[in-house]
Structure 1
């Protein structure tokens, strides 16, 4: 298959679990200004349903985000997608998996050495958004401080996690 990167990242999560509200807001925030990232969330993308999701992970997305919580492991599909993305790592040096933790939960052994973004920590003060943007963005632009304050919803407090 032709290597046409269409998305900055593929979102892996339990799309049936209680984390879905958080993940939808996460995707909406990162796709909106000032970030303007293009994320492939298969439960929201009709193109993913018409193609093999593994093809999207391998050929059409630069990176993968995995949203981890105790609910994540209830989805065989999400676990399978994560294992597939990880299997690409040796052959695809640019393919990186970015773990996002909604709560203290089990992180797969092969991701424990990867820097993760903790959304359950109250000490981060909104830095998670900048960290996510820098990890996923192909451009070096970082939003201005005043843009950050206006565009960082406190989704942890407002979601039912």
Structure 2
């Protein structure tokens, strides 16, 4: 359903939401098709402006392949303008949607992110549980993952 299998998870957590179902009234979804950065078991966007609505109302349902890249940079300063070199207590998550040539995991991607968020890093996030989840209400949808790569430093 609307919680995407993520809503209500206890503790610190971080997720990239790719949402194609209209839950506008109770989740404050910005539109039926959007990508969001969710934290701490909440998929509500009422006070969370960390989302991207896309170029058209049904852009994620157009039958086209959509490339996605996610990077998380740790040890950032308070504004996340510098990450990784010094000890910092913030992190920066960057998400690119429909990016070109963004599958090289040997280096950081240079393009401008579609959405990004600077947040306080919690040591609980040092441990990763990785997965995919979806919810469609009473509808069905098909999601195909053609190429998947992951890298941890």
The two structures share one fold, judged by TM-score above 0.5: no
Q: TM-score category by the smaller chain?
A: under 0.3
Name whichever structure is richer in strand by fraction: 2
- Larger helix share, 1 or 2: 1
State the structure with more CA Rg: 2
Relative contact order higher in (CA < 8 Å, ≥ 6 apart): 1
TM-score by length of 2: 0.28
Q: Could you state the TM-score of these two structures normalised by the residue count of structure 1?
A: 0.27
